[in-house]
Chains A and B, each alone.
Chain A
């Protein structure tokens, strides 16, 4: 069965510090992987995606993620956190078909 696990429902970092949000998936076929961000009272916005090719993917707002097949991971990073990065982040996977499975989400807090 397809599944997505996000480690840590809440992550707190200081402004300027590294952001690392973890995502692991289970899949029997090559997955397509996504990170979405949700700001309060808004829908989800795509940050970045991995389909094929280069395993290091760059997205908007300075975020990037690396697909590691051997670890079945797709962790999201940003070198320097900004206050405006405070939001909820969702990892998602599509494994064929047209159904997307989302992780439970990680709420990022950024301290001044």
Chain B
């Protein structure tokens, strides 16, 4: 079974531009989460999608947005880029289900997209 894939792997942008990152989850996984990883802040949760619905959101400004498609692929968008947005953006997929008993949320991570803002 193929793992989580993220494209592109590396990206260089300038301040004020916008960027879209893509994530393809493991086949059959309907939950996709996004994280920002920086040396100073560590791993910070951005948002989580399940069946095209955002279920959880972290404490990031509205410039950070995401969406999920019917095939569970997800994109995140960052508008009006700032220098501080330079980071490794990680996507993770899981079999978390909607409703019913809470399940442990084992996540499978992609290799990440390294975004550099100049």
Contact = CB atoms under 8 A, between A and B. Distances in A.
A42 interface: yes
- Chain A interface bracket (under 10, 10 to 19, 20 to 34, 35 or more): 20 to 34
Contacts of A3: none
Nearest to A105: B42
Interface of A: 32, 34, 36, 41-46, 49, 51, 90, 94, 96-105
Contacts, number: 57
Contacts of B43: 90, 102, 105
A42 B3 CA distance: 13
Q: Tell me whether chain B's interface is mostly helix, strand or loop, or mixed.
A: strand
Interface residues of B, number: 25
Contacts of B64: none
A108 to B, nearest CB: 16
